């Protein structure tokens, strides 16, 4: 064998050894990926561009109460509720078009319990049909905790109505929507008469009970779409969208009737009485929440000073 042949033989042997080492490294990498897939606490799956599951790791299946074999071969749409299926179709369109997607997707456990997954997917092609590698985190508890925190920040602890911050936050949104739609909004500012006397004569716990009763009355009179808040010690505010000044007497009349029914039937140590002022934002005369609140508050105190019957509409 000549020198050239010897060199070639050595290169072939070295190449074979390198291939063997490469194959061993590849096999080790595959084992690592399989271990990650099987034992990762993260939620991992692969699916076709049409949404058919090709693989699901145990953590993902377990989080929904399934085994992987119960999910593989099924459509993603089978694991969401009916309203979310349109959202799932949007996800599949986006990832097919863009090659990747990040979104929050409500999913449905085998028990019927709703969960929320924060999903990240990317399209992968390895010479065959493209498919999606997806990774998700179950963020249900995090979103619930965030919602509860937001509720605490925007809610009055005693009455469970919105507090002042909550009122301004939600009322501003309602006013903006009304302006876009060309509708009017009423803002009612109401003040409990004699709360200080109740606190002084019967004690603060009874005064707190009166405030809770007042909040319950407001919930009965106003709609879920209205923003109802306790914005001060004895002061309440309500923003009622899709109402104008022509309806304000009827709105206050319903409130007065509910208070009279309460006073007649409650058997309490106190009777509830309110002073109220009303302001209106209309397409012809749009106002901010602060402007409406200032106008209604001024009318409220005009009524208090005048000694007029409670809840009579003050427009002067």
Q: What is the mean pLDDT of residues 257-286?
A: 91
pTM tops 0.95? no
How many C-beta atoms surround the C-beta of residue 278 within 10 A? 25
User: Picking from 19-33, 144-158, 196-210, 266-280, which range would have the lowest pLDDT averaged per residue?
Assistant: 19-33
pLDDT value at 189 more than 80 = yes
Domains of the chain with bracketed CATH:
40-143 (3.30.450.20), 155-306 (3.30.70.270)
Give the long-range contacts of residues 306-311, CB within 8 A, separation 24 or more.
310/193, 310/256, 310/273, 310/274, 310/275, 310/276, 311/252, 311/255, 311/256, 311/259, 311/274, 311/275, 311/276
In which band, very low, low, confident or very high, does the pLDDT at 5 lie, cut at 50, 70 and 90? very low
pLDDT value at 11 more than 60 = no
For residue 236 the two structure tokens come to 């309440």
pLDDT value at 26 more than 80 = no
Instruction: Please state, in angstroms and rounded to a whole number, the distance separating the CA atoms of residues 315 and 277.
Output: 8
Q: What digits encode the pLDDT tens for the residues 232-247?
A: 999 999 999 999 888 8
pLDDT at 14: 57
Q: What digits encode the pLDDT tens for the residues 49-63?
A: 999 999 999 999 999
């Amino acid at each position: 064998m000549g020198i050239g042949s010897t060199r070639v033989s050595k290169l072939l042997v070295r190449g074979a050894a390198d291939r063997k080492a490469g194959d061993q490294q590849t096999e080790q990498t595959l084992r690592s990926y399989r271990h990650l897939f099987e034992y990762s606490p993260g939620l991992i799956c692969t699916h076709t561009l049409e949404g058919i599951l090709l693989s699901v790791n145990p953590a993902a299946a377990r989080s929904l109460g399934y085994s992987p074999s119960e999910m593989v071969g099924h459509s993603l749409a089978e694991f969401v509720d009916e309203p979310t299926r349109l959202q799932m179709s949007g996800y599949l369109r986006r990832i097919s078009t863009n090659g990747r997607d990040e979104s929050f997707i409500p999913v449905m456990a085998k028990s019927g319990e709703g969960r929320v997954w924060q999903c990240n997917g990317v399209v992968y092609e390895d010479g065959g049909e493209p498919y999606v590698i997806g990774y998700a985190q179950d963020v249900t508890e995090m979103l619930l905790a965030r919602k509860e925190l937001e509720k605490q920040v925007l809610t009055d602890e005693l009455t469970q109505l919105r507090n002042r911050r909550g009122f301004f936050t939600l009322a501003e949104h309602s006013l903006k929507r009304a302006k876009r739609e060309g509708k009017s909004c009423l803002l009612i500012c109401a003040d409990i008469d004699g709360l200080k006397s109740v606190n002084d004569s019967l004690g603060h716990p009874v005064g707190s009970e009166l405030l809770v009763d007042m909040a319950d009355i407001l919930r009965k009179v106003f709609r879920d779409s209205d923003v109802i808040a306790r914005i001060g010690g004895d002061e309440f505010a309500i923003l009622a969208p899709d109402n104008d000044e022509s309806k304000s007497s009827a709105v206050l009349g319903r409130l007065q009737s509910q208070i009279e029914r309460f006073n007649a039937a409650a058997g309490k140590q106190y009777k509830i009485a309110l002073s109220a002022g009303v302001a209106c934002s209309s397409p012809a005369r749009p106002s901010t929440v602060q402007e409406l609140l200032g106008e209604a508050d001024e009318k409220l105190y005009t009524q208090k000073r005048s000694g007029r019957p409670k809840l009579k509409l003050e427009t002067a």
